[in-house]
A and B are shown apart, each in its own frame.
Chain A
């Protein structure tokens, strides 16, 4: 339904360009929940914003974003803005601040409905109240201002706002990062329930692997602006075919295990200059001679499972 092909994003930065997203491609099917995982600065958020043409003017974008076969970025603002919120809605990282402090929460939920002609006037206000009820907030609170809501409530309200135009896809960018653990769990539960009930597809962007494992069926692991590995979450966990994925899982604390939590030494490469070979090789524990010189291509390694690592080409060499 949502299909991304060869997405590239460059940012103009002083003294050159920063190649933030480098040929990202994935498909999202109706009703599916997909995770987009990676550490800070690997291009997750940029990818999400690029899908709906929301990057700042300093960014240039190439590639195609197909929504039910239509290339939404083809004609710039004119072709993408009718789809915003109507088909693809978002819940942002700082959803605490997703609401304008000087307008009531209800009016901001109504806003996209009226903008896209979904509903207006009394009908829209009633619908906004129903949406709030749906995320567990009393509908009478629609007339309240954002500062009268707690953090968790604001995030729920932000989700209600995302559902205002009954979109097909929900892009959730670190929706739980700023919240405490209890509230995080409630918000994730809410997202799972709503996407199930409404048949909504969701892309969940996070650096938190356990969250993805809990919520999503499939995930793409991003590193340095590229997809390093993608596949069903079970497969990624039990049979990672990229050292980065494996090391990410090892870096996750285990409540019941006694294992040391491993961290991955080093930092991702700078993207404002050409990266030679595999971007992960300086931090990789299994790098070999090919890695610094040749860039691995993303290739099929199993059912719905792709990875970009030379190890998958030459299992024999590594074994030696």
Chain B
């Protein structure tokens, strides 16, 4: 294997950070916004009460977009460290 240990470690470090960033976003839209739903419902968004909107649509949109972005970012990291698969 051509990849040396230091490079592997650097790659894994970046991979782990990316994972943490995405899980923080995930945490906010999975739990935090729903915890405060009663308060958010007082705000209106596209005529929806905001707390309801997040649970019915908003969080879902965030998850979908997030996963496409994640796939791109992780691929970029893999290429940068030369550990991506051949195309």
Q: Do A and B bind each other?
A: no
